[in-house]
Structure 1
Amino acid sequence: MVTTTVIADLCIFLLTWNVGTHSPRDQQLTSLLALNGNSTCPGNQLPDIYVIGMQEVSTKQVLKIFQDDPWVLKIASALQEHEFVKVEAKQLQGILITMFAQHKHIPHMKNIETEATRTGLGGLWGNKGAVSIRLSLYGTGAVFVCSHLAAHDDKLKERIEDYHQIVDNHKYDSVGYRRIFDHDFVFWLGDLNFRLSGNMSAWDVRTDVENGRYADLLKLDQLNLLREKGNAFSLLEEQQPDFAPTFKFVEGTNDYDLKRRPAWCDRILHRVQSNVYPGIVLSANQLSYQAHSDYTLSDHRPVSATFNYRVESANQTFTDEELYEMTHGAASTPTAPNKETRE
């Protein structure tokens, strides 16, 4: 008879939003952060951890090294009322990632590192690229990546190259977890900027959206096609969106701006290496994936997802300290490198 011990059973809330350089001043984030009884976590409980990625954050604050971005302060203000604390934040020009956790989880977070990779303008400025937070979470290696890839329909090759540049250049100091895909859990979110292949007009795309023909449009989605071919993001999984394209809107409305074809630019993907340690089972069951149409600040809609981050041991009892020694110790073995092609 198999006996199972639960080491960690967490609900993690992920959010990505391209805010178009707008200030958070007048934004009420209660609904967006599932703080008003609309949580998708089990039992309608608040998440254990929030990871929020943003793009096109105003860079006016970048040179104020010791001051958090106004968006981080706004999020912190909303979450502090519920006894969340900021774990870490990392900003690269307009790309921002921040993590908050319930206070009880802080002792189970170790080896916290951040990283950034510039890809825009040859990597000289950082208007495109990625930032990340990695850590040991209840003994397992987890990394959260927020990226903003090259824009426009005709820049598919550049988006693929951006992705590989991020994977190649993101490096960490933790033994066994030097690179993104060495981690047991990988969560990748952001304005990935993938558009629809083919020559459908913006008006025809809008008509399909209005008639709920998402599945037909997603067959043309560049990200789906790339993952099938193994060119990029194929090491990650995505629950297919069942919400309308999140770009491009007339700001302040839910009307598409047909200067661009509507597209699912804003995405959240993940990867779990389920059985890499003897007697340990890792899982990340996705509980939700949704766009938030009430938030019309920019020409993008925010997108969120929740995951049940679970660590279990079978037929033996581990503490997360013992699991940490197994996963982060000198004898731990890095996983297979990225095998994707760039074509």
Structure 2
Amino acid sequence: MLLLFRFHFLLQSPAAGSSSPRPGEMHSAAAEAPLWAQRAVDAARVHALQVKAAGAQVKAAVEQQVWQPLAGVKPGASSFTNLPAAGPLPPLEVRVCSWNLHGNQIHPSDVVSRWLAPDGVAADVLVIGVQELVDLGPRNMVMNISGDEQRQAALEARVEQALQSLPGTAAGNHEGFTKICSFGMVGLALLIYVRSCLRPYIRDLHCDRVKTGLDGIGGNKGGVVVRFVLGQVSVCFMNVHLASGQNAVAERNQHLATVLADAFQATSTKGGARPGKNGFERQSRYSAGLHHLSVILGDFNSRLDLPKDTPWPSGSQQSWLSRDQILLGQASSLRGFREGVISFPPTYKYNIGSSALNTKRCPAWCDRIVYKADYGTEVELGEYASFPDLRHTSDHHPVAARFQVFLASPSPTQRSERPAW
């Protein structure tokens, strides 16, 4: 049974009553009707969707980054089987996973399936974001602006091996998965898999990269962003790696604000042109934070707010959260986003291969997943956890969150909310 967690309000959402643009699109006088009000239009497009589902609609965004279903995995029964390729879908289970790999390939001793599907069953949508896929030295910043193909391929292989090893659905059948997106920027990589039976429901897939390192020149920091529509639900996932250092709060805020503002735009917040290239259309049609579900995952580099001469916090680990910079409200760029209650140990910094924190660095919850649901979307957070057993690869612990998403206006009694910190 899905457990509904309490969650933090990071900052209050914009005032009620303000004009609401179409989910996933910029506000304009010519904006079309909201997605959930277009059932009649969608019904008329059923035939076109069926014809184009094999490639045209998804391929229009990043043609070279769309793959066929995993080889050797037979499709099986699921709650989506035999549904028409239009109209409302049942509630979707979305799993979002994040891990800073510290420049290393995933160690053979780290069991990836425990992170991707700890209960042995994969979600309907699986989002995997990693940071520091490669070392962030000057050479990689210059040579691997689009990511490292070999490391990316190795990451995909480990993920797909884990998916193929799952015992299957409740009915005992293996479920096929389709990789709809895989791309990167220097050390950032973002992969998205969906159940193969959901492939015909996907449309309007768009990807983008936003560099924020070295004042927008370097791709060592910033974000890789993907948005698409699944059935009637528009979603956007942003994998970010923000500025490091205890005193870099303002810089982190600026980095995140830039990713949110510049993704999919033809003009940057600095006024410079962002021409479409490498499959990135950048037509200022979509806004990253305006979707039915918007999720930011990654290494936020949030630190503990401590006096300068305090090398290590006192008290229990749970009490350290009272000093977390994000929970203290120092991340104004996260206005309107929420986060589940943190009940896991700090995710940074560990001695690799050990569960012991490195005493030379102050521990922190650097690795986070935050989300925002809009336009009548109900989101239930069923899990928000770290995975300390995967300790042989990095000085960071991976984290994951599991959401159930459906279009429904919730009543006030359906939510258990914690006030802003």
TM-score normalised by the shorter chain: which range applies?
A: 0.7 to 0.9
Instruction: Report the 3-state secondary structure (helix = DSSP H, G, I; strand = E; otherwise coil) of the residue aligned with 2:229.
Output: strand
Question: Post-superposition shift, 1:6?
Answer: 5.8
Match 1:57 to one of 117, 133, 138: 133
Partner of 2:92: 10
CA distance in 1, matches of 2:148, 2:305: 41
How many aligned residue pairs are there?
289
**Deviations along 1:264-318, whole A, 9 cap, x unmatched?**
100000101143xxxxxx211100000001011211000000000113599xxxx
Match of 1:298 in 2: 394
Is 1:241 aligned to 2:342, yes or no? yes
Match of residue 404 from structure 2? 308
Maintained 8 Å contact 2:388/2:397: yes
Tell me, yes or no, if structure 1 residue 191 matches structure 2 residue 299. Answer: yes
Preserved CA contact (<8 Å) 2:97 2:127: yes
Task: Give the Cα–Cα distance (whole angstroms) in 1 for the partners of residues 383 and 117 of structure 2.
Answer: 12
Give the 3-state SS of the residue equivalent to 2:333 in structure 1.
Answer: coil
Partner of 1:333: none
Match of 2:103 among 10, 13, 21: 21
Asked if structure 2 preserves the Cα contact closer than 8 Å seen for 1:90 and 1:133, the reply is: no
Instruction: Report the alpha carbon displacement of residue 80 of structure 1 after superposing the two structures with TM.
Output: 4.0
Q: Which has more radius of gyration?
A: 2
1:34 aligns with 2:117: yes
TM-score calculated relative to the size of structure 1: 0.77
Kindly tell me: are residues 256 and 289 of structure 1, through their superposed partners in 2, closer, same or farther at Cα, counting changes over 3 Å? same
Does 1:251 find its partner at 2:327? no
Q: 1:120 aligns with which of 197, 209, 213?
A: 213
Structure 1 SS opposite 2:313: helix
How far is 1:226 from its partner? 2.7
Q: How far is the alpha carbon of 1:74 from its aligned partner?
A: 1.6
Residue of structure 1 aligned with 2:326, choices 212, 215, 223: 223
Write the letter of the residue equivalent to 2:402. Answer: T
Match of 2:21 in 1: none
Q: 1:176 to 1:50 in 2, by over 3 A?
A: same
Q: Secondary structure at the match of 1:249?
A: coil
Q: What is the 5 A alignment of 1:97-246?
A: 97-171=190-264, 178-199=286-307, 201-205=310-314, 207-209=315-317, 214=318, 216-226=319-329, 231-246=332-347
Q: Which is richer in strand? A: 1
Amino acid in structure 1 at the alignment position of 2:89: I
Q: Is the 8 A contact 2:147 2:184 kept in 1?
A: no
Structure 1 pair 138/96, CA: closer, same or farther in 2 (3 Å)?
Answer: same
Question: Tell me, which stretches of 5 or more residues in structure 1 are unaligned?
Answer: 40-44, 276-281, 315-343
Selected match of 1:289 from 376, 384, 387: 384
Write the letter of the residue equivalent to 1:208: S
User: What is the TM-score normalised by the length of structure 2?
Assistant: 0.64
Q: Which residue of 2 aligns with 1:319?
A: none
Quick one: percent identity of the two aligned structures? 25
Q: Which amino acid aligns with 1:158?
A: E
Contact 1:76-1:85 within 8 A present in 2 as well: no
Whole-Å Cα distance in 2 between the matches of residues 266 and 66 of structure 1?
24
SS at match of 2:251: helix
- CA offsets, 1:26-82, max 9 Å, x none? 1431222126xx25xxxxx43111001100002679478876432122212322455
3-state SS, counterpart of residue 215 of structure 2: helix
- 2:264, 2:284 within 8 Å by CA — same for their partners in 1? no
* Residue 178 (structure 2) aligns with: 85
1:64–1:224 Cα change, 3 Å: closer
Structure 1 residues 198-251: Cα deviation after superposition (integer angstroms, max 9, x where no partner): 22844434x522xxxx1x322221112236xx7221221111211111001111
C-alpha separation between the residues in 2 aligned to 1:150 and 1:224? 17
Kept after mapping to 1: 8 A contact 2:88/2:232: no
The 1-side partners of 2:247 and 2:182 are apart by: 32
* Equivalent AA in structure 2 for residue 132 of structure 1: V
Query: Residue deviations 1:171-200, cap 9 Å, x none?
Result: 166999511122121011000001011228
1 CA distance for matches of 2:214 and 2:147? 23
Q: Distance in 1 between matches of 2:282 and 2:196?
A: 24
On the 8 A contact 2:113/2:162 being kept in 1, the answer is: yes
Structure 2: which amino acid aligns with 1:89?
Answer: S
